[in-house]
Amino acid sequence: MNGLILQGFEWYLPDDGNHFNHLKEKLEELKGLGITAIWLPPVFKATGTNDVGYGIYDLFDLGEFDQKGNVRTKYGTKEELLSLIDKAHEVGISVYADVVLNHKAGADEKEKFRAVEVSREDRTKVIGEEKDIEGWTKFTFPGRDGKYSEFEWNHQHFSGVDYDDIEKKGGIFKLTGEGKGWSWAVAGEHGNFDYLMFSDIDHNHPDVRQEIFYWADWFINETNVDGFRYDASKHIDAGFMDDLENHIRANIKEDFYSMGEYWNGDNQTLIDYMSETSGNIDLFDVPLHYSFYSASHSGSEYDMRTIFDNSILKTNPTIAVTFVDNHDTQLGQSLESWVKPWFKEHAYSIILLRDEGYPTIFWGDLYGIGDGTLYGGMYDKLTKLMELRRDYAYGDQDDYLLDANTVGFVRKGDDDHPGSMAVVMTNGDMATLSMNVGEDQKGKIFIDALGNNDSKIQIKDDGYGDFHVSPGSVSVWVEKI
């Protein structure tokens, strides 16, 4: 099966509580297009219904309790969530939940504790005296009133906060005292990148470990989700992540799927993290995304032969979750690195039609962003590529990476999908690339299924065809039926 993930949200979805229902209505269409899994946005109560979900408040509130101004989350109620998951399973689509375990936000009460301020640029550098500060670290969840878990969070369960209410001052404040400090099994950016935002969870505290392990048991059994997408992985202690993954596989679901957002463009750093987490967490191919971004902004100056350099797809393809853009890279967001629209068809052809990787379709690329005025998406082009993946992306793969501007590859099909497919793309002028689609295809007429080139190519006796591509375009050649 050609597995294909839909990232089932983008940043600017309306705050109307209807998204779970909207997704449910699309499930059969998505299944028909070849979607095998949906990555949901964070389904937990956040700081308010206008929160995309990463300002996480209560992991046990899935839109069930009157907290933070409403019962529902941005996307709907718990009942609607469970109905969506049940329907997805009914049509044969897996569901991955976006889980936020790095921090908590929207505390119910303030507490006084000892801390030091550290530099934003270098979190190992102390820039103030140890002193009493007052921070929002007490989480009592009064609206839930102890249902599912009676655990209450306090300052001992955190390693850092972003505000001192005594001096009414923002910053990064590291808690002090016995056993306190940043984890060192995190990314090394800014000296130490344990702290990201809000109240930073101390994953080495035994009570925290016990509560999160208990929550994972409860959440997976309560919702029957098939996997996790871990937010902010590089900010969380890698040993904790490894222990959590081993716990889930040993005690809940042996075949549970996990993918991690470790946002780093360096391939070796990602390989090291994979080793630290026992290879149990697939990783988003951030280096490949940056190659797409660079190619889209460089035009014909970009050497297309290098597009896979430094990517996980090239070095560790079995753990590569490939993507073109997502909610963080879209315009106006924290990791903005938007692939220009002219190159998106190239990029999606690469991740959808090649043999390697577990590709992800971004909601914003499929259906547009916001009300469509920010970006209208590429529904017609993308659904055609999804259909081509479903019908032709099988069997042996031969690469033709011979020219700086024009590259291609061929898929030879298999017993169940006997048709060959030739993909050719250029970031320069009109070009022709000779590729072999197999002697069994001789005499057949191939056309561009994307409609970007109106030629008809007859396959020669030796299996070769001279496949054309229009300027700055991509063509996918298959037999004319």
Distances (CA, A) of 391 to 34, 43, 420: 9, 33, 10
Tell whether 362 and 461 lie within a shared domain.
no
What percent of the chain is modeled with pLDDT above 90?
A: 98
Mean pLDDT for 307-320 is 96
Q: Using the 3D structure, point to which of 363, 392, 421 is the last residue of a domain.
A: 392
Mean pLDDT for 307-321 is 96
Distances (CA, A) of 424 to 86, 448, 470: 40, 10, 10
Backbone angles phi, psi at 28, to 5 degrees: -70, -40
Strands 94-99 and 45-46, sheet pairing? unpaired
Residue 359 to residue 2: CA distance in whole angstroms: 9
* DSSP one-letter string for 54-87: -SEEETT-SS-S-BTTBSS-SS--HHHHHHHHHH
Tell whether 438 and 304 lie within a shared domain.
no
pLDDT of residue 1: 74
Tell whether 423 and 472 lie within a shared domain.
yes
- Identify whether 231 is a catalytic site residue: yes
pLDDT of residue 371: 82
pLDDT of residue 373: 83
Tell whether 219 and 236 lie within a shared domain.
yes
Annotated catalytic residue, options 80, 231, 245, 365? 231
Mean model confidence pLDDT for the chain? 97
- CATH number of the CATH domain containing 410: 2.60.40.1180
pLDDT of residue 481: 84
Cβ neighbours of 152 (radius 10 Å) = 14
342-372 exposure pattern, b = at least 16 Cβ within 10 A, e = fewer: ebbbbbbbbbbbbebbbbbbbbbbbbbbeee
Q: Which residues contact 421 (CB under 8 A, 6 or more apart)?
A: 353, 388, 392, 393, 410, 411, 413, 437, 476, 477, 478
Say how many domains are in the chain: 3
Tell whether 123 and 95 lie within a shared domain.
no
Dig out the tokens for 63 from the structure. 């839109």
Q: Which domain holds residue 273?
A: 5-101+206-392
Tell whether 250 and 351 lie within a shared domain.
yes
- CATH number of the CATH domain containing 38: 3.20.20.80
Dig out the tokens for 312 from the structure. 């996980």
Contact between 438 and 463 (Cβ < 8 Å)? yes
Contact between 192 and 228 (Cβ < 8 Å)? no
Mean pLDDT for 231-236 is 98
41 three-class SS: coil
pLDDT tens-digit map of 104-127? 999 999 999 999 999 999 999 999
Mean pLDDT for 316-331 is 96
- CA 109 centroid distance within chain: 33
Asked if residue 89 has pLDDT above 80, the reply is yes
Q: Report pTM.
A: 0.97
Tell whether 212 and 306 lie within a shared domain.
yes
pLDDT of residue 374: 87
Tell whether 407 and 353 lie within a shared domain.
no
pLDDT tens-digit map of 370-379? 988 889 999 9
Residue 348 pLDDT class (50, 70, 90 cuts): very high
Contact between 148 and 64 (Cβ < 8 Å)? no
pLDDT of residue 421: 98
Tell whether 361 and 334 lie within a shared domain.
yes
Annotated catalytic residue, options 61, 162, 261, 325? 261
32 three-class SS: helix
Tell whether 178 and 248 lie within a shared domain.
no
- Identify whether 380 is a catalytic site residue: no
321 three-class SS: strand
Strands 320-322 and 282-284, sheet pairing? parallel
Mean pLDDT for 161-177 is 97
- CATH number of the CATH domain containing 149: 2.40.30.140
Tell whether 229 and 344 lie within a shared domain.
yes
Residue 141 pLDDT class (50, 70, 90 cuts): very high
Residue 68 pLDDT class (50, 70, 90 cuts): very high
pLDDT tens-digit map of 385-411? 999 999 999 999 999 999 999 999 999
Q: Using the 3D structure, point to which of 161, 179, 201 is the last residue of a domain.
A: 201
Contact between 62 and 43 (Cβ < 8 Å)? yes
Tell whether 306 and 338 lie within a shared domain.
yes
Q: Using the 3D structure, point to which of 392, 418, 446 is the last residue of a domain.
A: 392
Residue 76 pLDDT class (50, 70, 90 cuts): very high
